[in-house]
Amino acid sequence: MCDKIPDAAPDPAVPPHSATTVERGAFCSARCSCGWRGPARRSRDLARADARTHETAGQGL
């Protein structure tokens, strides 16, 4: 018989992902409070999309 493992509660010691974009010259990149960095891009829209994708993926961690 297998016991069901209860869903893990979010760890209050782990802060939520908070991604922003940072401009450096002609390039923009996404960065997160967890230390993740996205690729440098000329398109600010793509850098913002990288940030949103990372935050969404980070919610399941």
Tens of pLDDT, residues 8-60: 555 565 567 889 999 999 999 999 988 999 999 999 999 999 999 998 886 65
Indicate the residue type of 19: A
Q: For the whole model, what pTM was predicted? A: 0.67
The 3-state DSSP class for residue 61 equals coil
In the block, residue with structure tokens 């401009």: 23
